[in-house]
Amino acid sequence: MQVLGRKGTDSWSDRQDTGDESEAENESRDAAAESRTPRPTGRLGTYRARDGSDAAPVGIDLDSPHAALVVGKRGSGKSYTLGVLAEAAARAHGVAPVVVDPMGVFSGLAANEGSAAEISATVVRNPTVAADTLPASSWPTLVGLDAESPVGALVWQAASESSSLAAMQTHVADANATEDVRRSARNHLELAESWGVFDSDGLVAADFLGDEVTVLDLSGVADAPSNAVCAAVAGGLYERRVSSASRANPKGPEGPKDSTRVPWLFVDEAHVFFDGVAANALRTVLTRGRAPGVSLVAATQRPSALPDVALSQADLLVAHRLTMQADVDALTAAQPTYLAGTIRERLPTRTGDALVVDDTTESAHAVRIRERETAHRGGSPRASQFTEAGREHGSKHRQLQAAGGRTSRHG
Ligand SMILES: Nc1ncnc2c1ncn2[C@@H]1O[C@H](COP(=O)(O)OP(=O)(O)OP(=O)(O)O)[C@@H](O)[C@H]1O
């Protein structure tokens, strides 16, 4: 299998889209590549030949950290593709996938008991995080305040000197400010309390680094609290990897090694998070995450709503069908020079087909994304999915407690 996102397993060019290579050639190259580099690889699908038929299998590299972007209009297959990549990451040795799931469509990753998929996954419904895992500077924006206003400044100060929402309220009550300012700050913090996403015993990065996929089901959770969870998770994973990397001693074999799994963070509906308080944490992972080993896979139907950095930093772009001019323009503006033709000409039209632009090998490929091994729960929400998610969260709660770890309070 040819591997995107990895140098050295083959030479790459658009010629591979033709699918002209014989099966024997593919097999002998696969065998040689396997023996040389038994590195974690995920099965992505097959190349699309120019006549529309499927050709050689194609995978993606899961050995090195990546920043990937999956784009496509509604119904084009981008959540499905995110699920394919999460399945692949779940199977890879040494990888800890975490899925931020604002639409509740990834619970199917955990519903494969008894099937051939054998993916270990846990769905955490209504995940919670500790209030002090968010930077104090993001609190005014989070609760809808201008940081420059007296009320916003008080909330910022309360967050910088407190470790919980209750402590923030105490700080506000005791603050040297007018009654109006204190009352307004208290009301905004009560709003944050009402979201139910803050808990001193909330999830921490260590909870995600086991041998299973963790799905954070945020369906039914509003954008602001969903952003708070995403910011805490992205920031926590990054900080943990940075401190693990600095504890490890790369200069000598005697030094401790960083033995934790490397996190791959999957974020669906990414425009919601790049437009909220999670933006800073996601930008940090995008721009600096690969050095300490944090990968990000972000999916959106609105690439034009992402900051330029999201497109420019992506080393893998999986582009499904797009029809909005602004979205095609956004991809065109970031189009690499090695891509023959224009993005518009090369975008696919069929659900599940994608143009994959691989910056590592500076090549672009027409790919048919493979079918999911676990259930995809896209489309309209069904009542039954919430019942299952609740049961799955119950098992996470028990499991984390048994391990002495932390879990959310929402059992
Ligand atoms: N690679 C694929 N192979 C087979 N079926 C697919 C594939 N990709 C997508 N589909 C089908 O297309 C449907 C829509 O895909 P998906 O839910 O991923 O769309 P989407 O782009 O995420 O849309 P939305 O933005 O509304 O969530 C899926 O439910 C699935 O039935």
Domain coordinates of the chain in residue numbers?
2-127+202-402, 133-195
Atom of ligand 1 nearest to the CA of 320: 21
pLDDT for 178-221, tens place per residue? Answer: 999 999 999 999 999 999 999 999 999 999 998 889 999 999 99
377 Cβ inside 6 Å of ligand 1: no
- Convert the pLDDT of each residue in 393-403 to its tens digit: 433 333 333 33
pLDDT at 17: 42
CA distances to 21, 88, 219, 404, 411 from 408, rounded to whole Å, are 52, 27, 16, 13, 7
- Which of the listed residues 69, 80, 350, 372 should we mutate to test ligand 1's pocket, taking the one with most ligand atoms within 8 A of CB? 80
Lowest model confidence (mean pLDDT) among 73-77, 118-122, 145-149, 269-273: 118-122
Report pLDDT digits (tens) over 145-157.
999 999 999 999 9
CB of 57 closer than 6 angstroms to any ligand 1 atom: no
| Cβ 378 under 6 angstroms from ligand 1 | yes
298 against 31, higher pLDDT: 298
At 53, the pLDDT band (50, 70, 90 cuts) reads confident
pLDDT at 24: 47
User: Cβ contacts of residue 205 below 8 Å, gap of 6+?
Assistant: 233, 236, 237, 239, 240, 263
pLDDT in tens, 328-337: 999 999 999 8
Q: Which residue has better confidence, 255 or 124? A: 124
Dist. CA 62–CA 37, nearest whole Å:
12
Q: Measured in angstroms, how far is the CA atom of residue 301 from the centroid of ligand 1? A: 12
What are 201's two structure tokens?
């015993």
- Give whole-number Cα distances, 203 to 288, 306, 391, 393, in Å: 23, 27, 18, 13
For ligand 1, say whether the CB of 302 is within 6 Å of any of its atoms: no
- Residue 31: the pLDDT is 47
Going edge to edge, which strands form the sheet with 121-125? 2-4, 54-61, 41-48, 363-369, 353-358, 316-319, 67-71, 295-300, 262-267, 95-101, 213-217, 121-125
Centre of ligand 1 from the C-alpha of residue 324, in Å: 18
- C-beta 369 within 6 A of ligand 1: yes
What is the pTM assigned to this prediction? 0.85
Query: Under DSSP, is residue 31 helix (H, G, I), strand (E, B) or coil?
Result: helix
CATH architecture of 2-127+202-402: 3-Layer(aba) Sandwich (3.40)
pLDDT tier at 389, thresholds 50, 70, 90: very low
What DSSP string describes 67-82? EEEEE--TTSSHHHHH
Query: What percentage of the chain carries pLDDT values higher than 90?
Result: 68
Q: Which numbered atom of ligand 1 lies nearest the CA of 73? A: 21
Provide the pLDDT for residue 381: 46
351 C-beta closer than 6 A to ligand 1? yes
Q: Which residue has the tokens 């007018």?
A: 178
- Cα 253 to chain centroid distance, Å, stands at 33
Ligand 1 and 91: CB distance under 6 A: no
At residue 340 the predicted structure's pLDDT band, cuts being 50, 70 and 90, is confident
The H or E element containing residue 310 is: helix 308-313
Q: Is 219 in the pocket of ligand 1 (CB under 6 A)?
A: no
In this prediction, residue 247 carries a pLDDT of 72
Radius of gyration of the chain (CA): 22
Task: State whether the beta carbon of 43 lies less than 6 angstroms from ligand 1.
Answer: no
Give the model's pLDDT for residue 246.
74
304 within ligand 1 shell (Cβ under 6 A): no
Answer yes or no: is the C-beta of 79 below 6 A from any ligand 1 atom: yes
**13-33 b/e (C-beta count within 10 Å ≥ 16 → b):** eeebbebeeeeeebeebbeeb
Q: Please name the residue whose Cα sits nearest to atom 11 of ligand 1.
A: 77
Residues 287-314 have pLDDT tens digits of: 999 999 999 999 999 999 999 999 999 9
410: left (phi over 0), alpha (psi -120 to 50) or beta: beta
Sequence-ordered list of residues with C-beta below 8 angstroms from that of 293, at least 6 positions apart, any chain: 65, 241, 245, 262, 263
Please report which confidence band the pLDDT of residue 30 belongs to, taking 50, 70 and 90 as the band edges: low
| More confidently predicted of 23 and 41 | 41
DSSP for 82-135 reads: HHHHHHHHHHSTTEEEEEEETTS--GGGG--TTSTT---EEEEES--B-GGGS-
Ligand 1 closest atom vs CA 371: 3
| Nearest-CA residue for atom 24 of ligand 1 | 74
CA of 371 relative to ligand 1 center, distance in Å: 10
pLDDT band at 61 (very low <50, low <70, confident <90, very high): very high
Residue 216 has a pLDDT of 98
